Amino acid sequence: MPCLTFNAIVAVSPVYHRGYLNRIMPSMDFEQFLKNHLNEMFSFAYRLCGNREAAEDLVQDLFINLSQKDIDTALIRNPRAWLATILYRMFINQWRQEKRSPVIPGDDANNYTPNHSIENAVSSDLGPEEHAQATQEQHRIAAALNKLNHIHKHVLIMHDMQDYTLVEIEQISGVPIGTLKSRLHRARENLQKTLQKLEPILPVIRTYTRSKAK
């Protein structure tokens, strides 16, 4: 995944000019606060949207909106969960307004190189030939995820890919932990079943799904 910069996020909007920038740019402390979490928020947005352009727009909207507010970062106990909560709710609101499914992948989904839990379980510590097979498995997992309903897909993205805890996901989604545990269990079962229907699975995938189900 290419590394985005705060300036690049700001620059892509056609409405910006110097005077407007002076009004909306955050203080240096808050700008650094946003920079520290930029790539993680883009990763989360990309997995939700399945489309690079939509993810960039979502993160841009998030940062611009926050930059216009008077926020004391010292009062934010868990910055990554706080930002993810706002981003996720913006995503859901946009989806509802546009009345389209949030689980349809974008045209550039096959160009995305994942870097979190499920994908690392497939691709880490492999030789060249096994790495090539694992790369195919990464795309198969992405395809299987997109066959899940959005409730199951989102809980897998947040917990198994973005590494948010159940407590953090409760904050982000507003869903009680007990319900999240049930959804996560069902999501992993459905993902495993979907993978089995696509093609024979690599042993490392079987190991992942069994270990996660415990």
Helix axes 52-67, 28-36, angle to 10 degrees: 150
Cβ atoms of residues 96 and 124 within 8 Å: no
In a 10 Å sphere around its CB, with 0-12 CB exposed, 13-18 middle and 19+ buried, how is residue 205 labelled? Answer: buried
Say if 63 falls within a structural domain: yes
The answer to whether residue 26 is domain-embedded is: yes
- Four-residue CA torsion sign, 173, 88, 43, 195: positive
d(CA 84, CA 74): 17
CA 9 to mean position of chain CA atoms = 17
**φ and ψ of 3, to 5 deg:** -80, 120
10 lies in some domain: yes
Number of H helices and E strands in the chain, helices first, is 12, 0
| Full domain range(s) for residue 209 | 113-213
Provide mean pLDDT across the span 82-108. 74
Tell me the average pLDDT of the chain: 74
pLDDT of 138: 77
Residue 108 CA to residue 212 CA, distance in Å, equals: 28
Domain of residue 77, CATH code: 1.10.1740
What is the distance between the alpha carbons of residues 3 and 9, in angstroms, rounded to a whole number? 11
Q: Which among 66, 98, 130 is the end of a domain?
A: 98
Q: What is the CATH number of the domain that holds 123?
A: 1.10.10.10
Same domain, 139 and 187: yes
Give the tens place of pLDDT for each residue, 164-183: 999 999 999 999 999 999 99
* Rounded Cα–Cα distance for residues 18 and 2 (Å): 27
Structure confidence by residue, pLDDT tens digits, 43-74: 999 999 988 999 999 999 999 888 888 888 88
Of 17 and 87, more confident = 87
Is the model more confident about 126 or about 161? 161
Is residue 143 a part of any domain in this protein? yes
Please name the amino acid found at residue 38: L
Whether 210 has a pLDDT exceeding 80, the answer reads no
1 part of a folded domain: no
Q: Does residue 115 contact residue 157 with C-beta atoms inside 8 Å?
A: no
User: What is the reported pLDDT for 109?
Assistant: 39
pTM over 0.85: no
Which of the pair, 116 or 197, is modelled with greater confidence? Answer: 197
pLDDT at position 153 over 90? yes
Residue 205 lies in a domain: yes
Q: Quote the number of domains for the chain.
A: 2
